[in-house]
């Protein structure tokens, strides 16, 4: 009996001294991209196939997602099992995601919705820096230990600390958001002692991740990042910490192969796998679910609502013809307003000239923003103009577009509203949407007054105007 115990102890010591192999698979910023892009690459079915291939090659594998799995296509707008975006969670569950961190788009709807996503998900959302009012993690936990073979991996979740500037402030008003290093310091000793490898799963952006790496020590081995939509074919290494990111919209699956010895990475190799489509003989377990959950909706959304006379181009930092048209369409839809304001970042894809469907428009404007009215003085509009010009130059976030083509001018005399020069002391009525209202200090530089929340969807106003102005002609017309 004693001999057997000694052998067991010696065998355990031998295993711990030997190098252990691990494959880490990673995605980020998938934005509900359930179908292939125009280049034929990507989509949930391609992801399923390549996950299967990668896992079949290496038994000990861990798949991590660095946030923003929601917002971007109709599948994230779809209510599934009573939860908007629930079908996205179902897909990631069926594909056996091990863990995720929150992206800013997981908070697009409300705090209650983000909490429901967390509770409904079969996999854990991890967050060390987003805290409930009682100080607990808004996620399932700050970190979690995953055992793959003989390897124990600690995964710590982090989300961008400027979250209140990226969603409606009320969506995160009750939550505390810790600085990155403060959040990590709270759990790192414990996580490191319990694991062979420490991974930070981050939705902070490349700039923040690269700075964070300089502030960490050898207890952290790797940062898997999101938010910046960057694809690193070769991992960046800063301060001995590997930083990985796989782009966005499921164009690639990231893969890192490691040998771990004595609590350190003994060898490291990574690559990006292009998410090409599965061969014809591949049997997908996911395909029936996608057809069932979104097939009928897709058929309804494939209805053509208009014929665009030119391409609708989106640009966060430039006034495009189509975004100017969308701002003007708001005044046509709500003629009691003097002018309209929209933020360029609310338009998320380019639409080609020609037929446009309801589905295209849902993906063009994927957010559920609602119409609001507010009042301001002419001098306030000049303040907003100056703010916008500064944003164009420094690019901290997207600009606004105003329904008047003379918006970006040098003087009030040249700024026309309804063909009349701007009057600095006149009160103007503005139609906009709730996101701009919630971020007035960022976009406007003045606080609106006489606010009226209409409740209509911004998207519905645009759809209605496209139907009126560009609706397809009936045969025989």
Q: What is the total count of domains within the chain?
A: 2
pLDDT average, residue stretch 202-231: 96
On whether both 287 and 310 belong to a single domain, the answer is: no
- 285 and 336 both lie in a single domain: no
Q: Do the domain assignments include residue 321? A: yes
| CB contact set of 394 (below 8 Å; sequence gap of 6+) | none
**φ, ψ for residue 347 (rounded to 5)?**
-105, 115
Percent pLDDT > 90 in the chain is: 72
Flag whether 2 is in a domain.
no
Contact 257, 21 (CB under 8 A): yes
Q: Is the pLDDT of residue 9 over 60?
A: no
Report the relative pairing of strands 143-148 and 222-225 from DSSP bridges.
Answer: unpaired
Q: Is 18 left (phi over 0), alpha (psi -120 to 50) or beta?
A: beta
Q: Are residues 174 and 218 in the same domain?
A: yes
- Are the C-beta atoms of residues 270 and 234 closer than 8 Å to each other? yes
Supply the CATH number for residue 409's domain: 3.90.780.10
Binned at pLDDT 50, 70 and 90, residue 16 comes out as very low
pLDDT band per the 50, 70, 90 thresholds, residue 475: very low
pLDDT of residue 406: 81
Domain end, chosen from 246, 264, 294, is at: 294
Cα distances from 9 to residues 194, 219, 261, 326, 364, in angstroms, run 19, 27, 18, 71, 61
Residue of 333, 344, 348, 329 lying closest to 436 (CA atoms): 344
Q: Indicate whether 8 pLDDT > 60.
A: no
CA distance to 48, 315, 328, 335, 402, per residue, from 321 (Å): 39, 10, 11, 21, 12
The reply to whether 237 and 351 lie within a common domain is no
Last residue of a domain, one of 265, 294, 323: 294
pLDDT for 366-407, tens place per residue?
A: 887 888 999 999 999 999 999 998 999 999 999 999 998 887
Q: Edge-to-edge strand order for the sheet containing 222-225?
A: 143-148, 151-159, 197-203, 222-225, 241-244, 236-238
Give the chain's mean pLDDT: 90
In a domain, 6, yes or no: no
Which residue range forms the structural domain that includes residue 359?
303-470
């Amino acid at each position: 009996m004693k001999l057997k115990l000694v052998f067991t102890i010696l065998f355990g010591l031998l295993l711990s001294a030997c190098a252990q192999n691990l494959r880490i698979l990673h995605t980020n910023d998938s934005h509900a991209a359930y179908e292939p892009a125009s280049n034929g690459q990507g989509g949930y079915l391609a992801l399923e196939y390549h996950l299967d291939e990668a896992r079949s090659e290496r038994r000990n594998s861990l798949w991590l997602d660095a946030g923003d799995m929601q917002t971007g296509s109709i599948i994230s707008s779809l209510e599934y099992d009573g939860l908007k975006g629930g079908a996205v969670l179902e897909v990631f569950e069926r594909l056996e995601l091990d863990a995720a961190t929150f992206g800013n788009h997981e908070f697009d709807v409300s705090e209650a919705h983000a909490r429901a996503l967390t509770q409904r998900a079969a996999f854990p959302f991890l967050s060390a820096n987003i805290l409930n009012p009682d100080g607990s993690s808004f996620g399932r936990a700050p970190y979690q230990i995953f055992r793959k073979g003989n390897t124990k991996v600690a995964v710590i979740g982090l989300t961008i600390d400027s979250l209140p500037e990226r969603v409606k402030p009320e969506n995160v008003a009750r939550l505390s958001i810790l600085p990155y290093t403060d959040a990590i310091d709270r759990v790192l000793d414990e996580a490191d002692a319990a694991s062979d490898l420490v991974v930070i799963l981050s939705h902070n952006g490349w700039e923040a991740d690269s700075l964070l790496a300089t502030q960490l020590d050898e207890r952290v081995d790797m940062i898997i990042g999101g938010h910046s939509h960057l694809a690193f074919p070769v991992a960046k290494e800063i301060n001995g910490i590997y930083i990985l990111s796989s782009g966005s919209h499921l164009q690639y699956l990231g893969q890192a192969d490691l040998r771990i010895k004595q609590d350190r990475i003994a060898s490291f190799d990574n690559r990006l796998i292009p998410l090409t489509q599965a061969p014809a003989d591949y049997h997908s377990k996911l395909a029936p679910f996608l057809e069932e959950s979104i097939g009928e909706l897709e058929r309804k959304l494939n209805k053509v609502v208009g014929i665009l006379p030119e391409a609708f181009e989106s640009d966060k930092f430039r006034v495009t013809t189509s975004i100017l048209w969308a701002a003007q369409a708001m005044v046509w839809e709500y003629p009691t307003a003097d002018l309209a304001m929209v933020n360029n970042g609310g338009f998320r894809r380019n639409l080609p000239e020609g037929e446009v469907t309801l589905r295209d428009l849902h993906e063009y404007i994927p957010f559920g923003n609602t119409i609001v009215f507010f009042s301001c003085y002419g001098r306030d509009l000049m303040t907003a103009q100056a703010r916008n010009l500064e944003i164009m130059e420094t690019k901290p976030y997207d600009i606004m577009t105003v329904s008047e083509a003379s918006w970006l001018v040098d003087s009030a005399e040249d700024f026309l509203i309804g063909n009349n020069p701007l009057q600095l002391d006149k009160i103007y009525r503005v139609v906009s949407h709730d996101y701009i209202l919630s971020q007035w200090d960022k976009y406007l530089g003045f606080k609106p007054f006489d606010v009226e929340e209409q409740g209509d969807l911004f998207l519905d106003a645009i759809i209605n105007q496209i139907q009126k102005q560009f609706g397809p002609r009936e045969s025989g017309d």
